[in-house]
Amino acid sequence: MKQRAVAIGIIAIVAACSSAQETGMGGPAPVPSDPGMTECPAAQLSYLVGQRIGEIDTQSLPQPHRVVPHGMAVTMEFRGERTTIWLDEQDRVERVICG
């Protein structure tokens, strides 16, 4: 009888957590991105590969974007509309990807 009460309690807790997440109460709200940008323009920026980052006007790049120097740690969250520019040891653009 005691095991059944514990099992029912666990099920109730899981159900409560599940419904809270579905209604948006289970954690922080997602940060809205630029409403005008719906997809990442990485393919159109492939011409940057090989250029030194100092020669690129990064202010003119589409938002949102981030430039990642060689060896720098970055967050792992995926944002499909964001362009990520990876640099090599000589501060040249190594790759341009979405995320």
What is the residue whose two structure tokens read 């990642």?
68
| 71 & 61 share domain | yes
| 85 & 97 share domain | yes
Q: Higher confidence at residue 21 or residue 79?
A: 79
Q: Cα(76)–Cα(58) distance, rounded to whole angstroms?
A: 22
Mean per-residue pLDDT of the chain: 76
Contact by Cβ (8 Å): 17, 26: yes
| 58 & 22 share domain | no
| 73 & 85 share domain | yes
* pTM for this entry: 0.60
| 85 & 74 share domain | yes
Q: Cα(99)–Cα(78) distance, rounded to whole angstroms?
A: 5
- If one counts the domains in the chain, the total is 2
**Containing domain of residue 90, as a range?**
31-99
Residues 6+ apart with CB under 8 A from 73: none
| 20 & 59 share domain | no
**Can you give the pLDDT at residue 76?**
86
Q: Give SS3 for 5.
A: helix
Percent of the chain with pLDDT over 90: 51
6-48 residue pLDDT tens: 555 556 565 555 433 433 444 333 344 444 546 889 999 999 9
